[in-house]
Amino acid sequence: MSVSTAIRPTETWQPPAPLAAHEFEIVPFAEGTGAEVLGLDLSRELGSADFSRIHQAHLDHHVLVFRDQRITPQQHIDFSRRFGRLMIHVLHQFHLPGHPEILVVSNVVEDGRPVGLGDAGRYWHSDISYKAIPSLGSLLHAQELPAEGGDTLFANMHLAYDTLPAALLAAVHGRRAVHSYLAKYGELQQRGNWRPNLSPEQLAQVREVVHPVVRTHPETGRRALFVSEGFTTRIEGLPEDESRQVLDELFAHSVRAAHVYRHQWRAHDLVFWDNRSLIHLATGCPAQLRRTLYRTTIEGDAPF
């Protein structure tokens, strides 16, 4: 044994160090919703202190933008799983091959076949609000971005609730609303090629559900509006015309500019938003420009 590798008598065994804390910054956006996470590499496992910091920032800011993430689909899945179970999207043809936990969001057509869901987010919505157990949050990772357009808007539904005019607040007090995956399905089928007719099995997976119009965030206790033009079809217990009018007013109020953060995608962004606190919208890009992102969706709990 050489002298250099010999254990010197003064050295004692140490348990393996916990994962070293990463140095990273969380910088809130000026808009008041969302924050940017700088200097964190999600291809390395996060220790529990770093994870807690991210978790808290997600609750505080509702959407986190992790810049410059060179991560594989498996690393994207592994990081997402730390927040809960992952949901498998009903449109199986748009799963990433080998990774059903990833939904491919893409306008790219290869050999006449769309590789992903090209019209995801065309109407304001909270992901999977059409299920009894909707989503906690989603993580969208940029793969290929267009030179122009393709922004994603996020509206803060806590602010929307906090600023709701008294008459609207009274109109929805204690009320529940119907959410349906099929709310805009026919319109989407007419506008593009991404929406097949659903099989009886798929239809059985997306039967309409009812959720409170105002929900309480299960982790922060803050109230938020929980309706959207994409999936909410009517308010229970109101005549149809009144329900339509109240919903339209709620939709318009929710997405007022003061409540909205506009995300302009940069290469390798990973964006993690809270579906319990926000609704979001794809603004779209010119059809000839390629845009592809990968999404994981974390299961939440029943809104109350």
Which positions are annotated as active-site residues? 125, 127, 280, 295
Answer for which of 282, 285, 292, 296 binds ligand OGA (CB under 6 A) is: 282
Interaction of residue 127 with Mn ion, rule CB under 5 A:
yes
Q: Which stretch binds ligand OGA (CB under 6 A): 30-38, 39-47, 119-127, 205-213?
A: 119-127
Answer for which of 37, 54, 120, 188 binds ligand OGA (CB under 6 A) is: 120
Interaction of residue 80 with ligand OGA, rule CB under 6 A:
no
Output 127 or 229, the one with its CB closest to ligand OGA.
Answer: 127
**In the complex, minimum distance from the CB of residue 111 to Mn ion, in angstroms, rounded to a whole number:** 27
**In the complex, minimum distance from the CB of residue 281 to ligand OGA, in angstroms, rounded to a whole number:** 7
User: For ligand OGA, how many residues bind (rule: CB under 6 A)?
Assistant: 11
Interaction of residue 138 with ligand OGA, rule CB under 6 A:
yes
Token couple for 249: 């007013």
Interaction of residue 131 with ligand OGA, rule CB under 6 A:
no
Output 117 or 246, the one with its CB closest to ligand OGA.
Answer: 117
Output 171 or 261, the one with its CB closest to ligand OGA.
Answer: 261
Interaction of residue 121 with Mn ion, rule CB under 5 A:
yes
Amino acid at 208: E
Alpha-carbon separation of residue 207 from 197, 204, 253, 272, 276 (angstroms):
15, 6, 28, 27, 20
Output 161 or 265, the one with its CB closest to ligand OGA.
Answer: 265
Output 121 or 212, the one with its CB closest to Mn ion.
Answer: 121
Q: How far apart are CA 93 and CA 12, in angstroms?
A: 57
* Contacting Mn ion within 128-167 (CB under 5 A): none
Interaction of residue 152 with ligand OGA, rule CB under 6 A:
yes
